[in-house]
Structure 1
Amino acid sequence: MNDFHYEIKREGTNSVKWDLRKTIFGKEDVLPMWVADMDFAPPPMVIKELEKRLEHGIFGYTFIGERTASSIQNWLHTRHNWSIETDSLLYSPGVVPAIATIIQAHTQPNDRIMLQSPVYTPFFNMVEANQRVVENCPLVLNKGYYEIDFEAFEKSLQNGVKLFLLCNPHNPSGRVWTKDELMKIAELCLKYDVQIVSDEIHSDLVFSPHKHVPIASLDKKYENITITLMAPSKTFNLAGLQASFMVIPNKHSRKKIEEAQKRQGFFTLGTFGIAGMEAAYEFGENWLESLLEYVKENIELTKKFITSEIPQLEVVEPEGTYLIWIDCRNTGYDDKEIASRLLEKGKLALEPGPKYGPGGEGFVRMNIACPRNMLLEGLDRLKRSFE
C-alpha cells in the first residue's frame, strides 16, 4: 500500500506542475499547488502491471481489447451502481480531446453550447476554439454553497442551445450534484432537445455521505441524450498515460463521434494507457479507499488552518475532488493583487479564479492532493501571502 506521506521529487520529469513553474508563473521558487494532478505514486499494482508490459519489450500497434471494456464495465457497476454495455464505449486520449470531438460531431459553427461558470477552463476553450458560442448560465453561490438557478437554466436552454456541458463532481467548487438536481437538469434538456455532455472525471473522488450519481444512470431516456466522459487519470494519478473513455449508449450519437474520430485520424490509445487503465480498474479499489481517507484529512486540515490562521479567507466546502476553492474577496484585494501576493510574498502557485469564468473573481483554487508536510508548507505560504 502507498505511503501518502512520502515525498517524491518530480523535477526533471517534464512535469507540467513542477518543471514549468518559470514558464507559467515567472518564478522557479514557488510551491506548485495548482494543476490537478496528485503528488502521490499510483497504486503499486498499476506500476507492477506497467513494468510487466515494459519488460515484454515490444511496443507495436496495440488495439483496445475486451479486457479494457470489461474492467470499465465492472468498475462502473461496483463503484457507481451503473450497468453499461461494453459496446457503448469509445476511447480518447483525454476528456478535453473528447469534448472537442463531440462538439465537432454534434454541432455546427456558431451553435450555442451551454456551461455553468465558474467551471473547468477547457469548457470555454473548446467551445471557442471550435467557433461555437458560449451560453453561460452561472452557478449561484448561496452562503458558501453552489446551487443551480433552474429558472435561469431553462431560459438559457431556450436560446437555441445544442449541447450542455455538465461538470460533476464540479471543478473548481467540489460540489457533487444530487440525484434531484441531476433529474431536473435532464428533464429540462429533454424538453428542449439538448444533448448532455457530462464530464465525470472526478467521479471516484467523492467523500461520504455524498455519492456520485452518473446522470445517464437515472433513466433510459436520460441515457439516450447523454455522453459521459470518464478516465482513471484523476483517480489514480495517471494523466500522463493519456487514456480516457466515453459512455455513449445512443448508437446514432456514437456513430457520429466515431466518424469524427476517423476524420481526426484517431485509431487507438497508447500501449501503456491501455495497460494502466485496465490495472487501475482491476486492482486499484483498496488503494483508492486509502487515498480518499488521506485526502479527506488534508481537506479538514486545510479548513481548520484557514479558519484559525487566515480568517479573512473562506473555504467552499468540497463534497468531492482534491481541489479547494478559496474565497479571498474579504481581503479587499483585486485578482491582480491576490496573484502578486501569492507569488511574491508567499512563493505559492495557485490557480487564479478568473480562469474559471464569471463568478471566479476573487477566488483561487488550491490542489491539496500532496503529502502532509507539503500541504503544511503550502498553508504557511498561503498565510504569509495575506499577512
Structure 2
Amino acid sequence: MTKTYNFDEIIDRSGSGDLKHEALLPRWGRNDLLPLWVADMDFATPDFVVDALKERLNHPIFGYTVDPSDYRPAIIDWIRSHHNWDVKPEWLSFIPGIVKGIGLVINVFTKPDEKVIIQPPVYHPFRLTPEGNRREVVFNPLRRREDGYYDMDFDNLEKVCDDKCRVLVLCNPHNPAGLCWSVDTLKRLADFCYEHHIIVISDEIHSDMALFANCHVPFASVSEHAADISITFGAPTKTFNMAGIVSSYSIVPNGDLRERFYGWLKANELDEPTLFAPIATIAAFRKGEEWRKQMLAYVEENVNFVENYCKEHIPGIRPLRPQASFLVWLDCNGLGLNHEQLLDLFIDKAHLALNDGEMFGPGGEGFMRLNIGTPRAVLRQALDQLTEAVKNL
C-alpha cells in the first residue's frame, strides 16, 4: 500500500538552529519576518532517511568508516533511471558541498590571473566564490525573451571570453529562473567551451526536481565534447530536504581532469564523506521515488496557487513558472518600484524575507526569489501580507 505524505503539516523549526529563521536578525535586522528565502524546504525530511540514520545511531561507536558498498551504485542507478546517463563508478567522488566544490575546482584548475565565467542572474555564490578566491569573474548575462524566460547569449559569450577564461560555471537547472536547459543549448555551450579550452562546472543539484513534464538533461551527457570538459556536481539534499547532511558528489568522465582533481581531493582528504552522508544518500536514492513524486506534485500545486493568487490580487507581480525546483522568480517590475522601495515593501511593510533579485547579478533588478517549498497555508499567509502591503503603497 502506497504511503501518503502530508506536506500541509506545519513544523515548528525553532530550536533546531535552522538558518532560515536564525539568520533573520543578523541579515535583515529584525526577526518578525516570514522566511521564504534560503533554498531548503519546510517539509519533514522523509521518514526512510530518518530511519536509516536512526538505525546507524543504534551502534554506540562513531569511528572511522569506509563508504558503504551500495553508495556509488545507488547514485549510479538513480542517475541512469532518472536522467538516462550511464555514470561509471570511477567517475564519482564525494565532495564536501557544491559551493565548496566550485571553490576547489577554481583553486585546482585556475591561476590567480585567470577568469571564471558565470551567467547572471544566477545563484550568487557563483560570483562570490571566485571573487573570494581572487579570481576575476566575467559576466555572460542571460538574454530575457518576451515571454519572460531566458536564453543563453552566445554572441555575448564570444565577446566576453578571452584566453584568460578557464572555467564556466553552469547552473543546470538554472537558479533562480528555474530553467531546464535544452539539449541543443547544452551542446552549443559544450562546443564553445571545448574550442576555447574552458572547463564547465555543471551544478545539477536541482536535477531531480523537474516540474510540469519538463526534463533535466545532464550537461556531460549531451556530447563527447561536453563529457570531455565537464565536472558535474549533484546531491540528494535539495530533493529530499536534508541540506544539513552534506552529501554532495562530483562526476568527472575525463581521465586527465579526474586524475588532477580527485588526486588533489584525496591528498587533502576532501573526498572522504562524513559518517551519515552515504547512509542518507543510499536511503534517499533507494527508497525515495514515491516521496519525490508526491512532493513535486505538491510543489506544482503551490506554483499554480502563486500564479493564480498574483493574477487575482497582485497583478503588478508576475511569477515566472519554474521548469524545475521549488523556487519561483517573481517579476516585480510592474509595481514601478526602485530597489530600495522593493526591499521596503517586502521587508518592512509585508514582513517577508525573500532573496532580492539584485544579489543574483545583472538582470536580477526588480525581481524577488520566492521559496514555495512550504505548506500552502504558510504561502497563503505570505501572499496575504504582501497583498496588504501593495494596497498601501
Tell me if TM exceeds 0.5.
yes
How far 1:342 sits from its partner (Å)? 1.1
Q: How does 1:184-223 map to 2 (within 5 A)?
A: 184-223=188-227
Aligned equivalent of 1:330 = 334
Specify the code of the residue in structure 1 equivalent to 2:187. M
SS of structure 2 residue aligned to 1:386 = helix
Specify the code of the residue in structure 1 equivalent to 2:91. S
- Is residue 256 from structure 1 mapped to residue 285 from structure 2 by the alignment? no
SS of structure 1 residue aligned to 2:329 = strand
- Is residue 173 from structure 1 mapped to residue 177 from structure 2 by the alignment? yes
The 2-side partners of 1:275 and 1:109 are apart by: 38
Contact 2:199/2:230, CA 8 A, preserved across alignment: yes
The 2-side partners of 1:13 and 1:57 are apart by: 23
Identity of aligned residues (%): 36
Deviates more, 1:154-163 or 1:237-246: 154-163
How far 1:385 sits from its partner (Å)? 2.9
SS of structure 2 residue aligned to 1:78 = helix
Aligned equivalent of 1:100 = 103
Q: 1:66 to 1:157 in 2, by over 3 A?
A: farther
Aligned residues between the structures = 387
Which of 87, 90, 94 in structure 1 is aligned with 2:90? 87
How far 1:79 sits from its partner (Å)? 0.6
Aligned equivalent of 2:127 = 124
Which of 350, 355, 358 in structure 1 is aligned with 2:359? 355
Q: 1:326 to 1:140 in 2, by over 3 A?
A: same
Specify the code of the residue in structure 1 equivalent to 2:251. V
Which of 316, 329, 339 in structure 2 is aligned with 1:312? 316
- Is residue 386 from structure 1 mapped to residue 390 from structure 2 by the alignment? yes
Specify the code of the residue in structure 2 equivalent to 1:176. C
The 1-side partners of 2:158 and 2:87 are apart by: 29
How far 1:218 sits from its partner (Å)? 1.5
The 1-side partners of 2:303 and 2:322 are apart by: 8
The 1-side partners of 2:16 and 2:269 are apart by: 29
How far 1:159 sits from its partner (Å)? 5.0
SS of structure 1 residue aligned to 2:249 = strand
Q: How does 1:61-76 map to 2 (within 5 A)?
A: 61-76=64-79
Specify the code of the residue in structure 2 equivalent to 1:342. F
Q: 1:24 to 1:264 in 2, by over 3 A?
A: farther
Which of 166, 169, 181 in structure 2 is aligned with 1:162? 166
The 1-side partners of 2:386 and 2:49 are apart by: 34
Runs of 4+ in 1 over 4 A off after TM superposition: 262-265
Specify the code of the residue in structure 2 equivalent to 1:271. L
The 2-side partners of 1:358 and 1:309 are apart by: 29
TM-score (norm 1): 0.97
Q: CA RMSD in A?
A: 1.3
TM-score (norm 2): 0.96
- Is there any run of 5+ residues in structure 1 with no aligned partner, and where? none
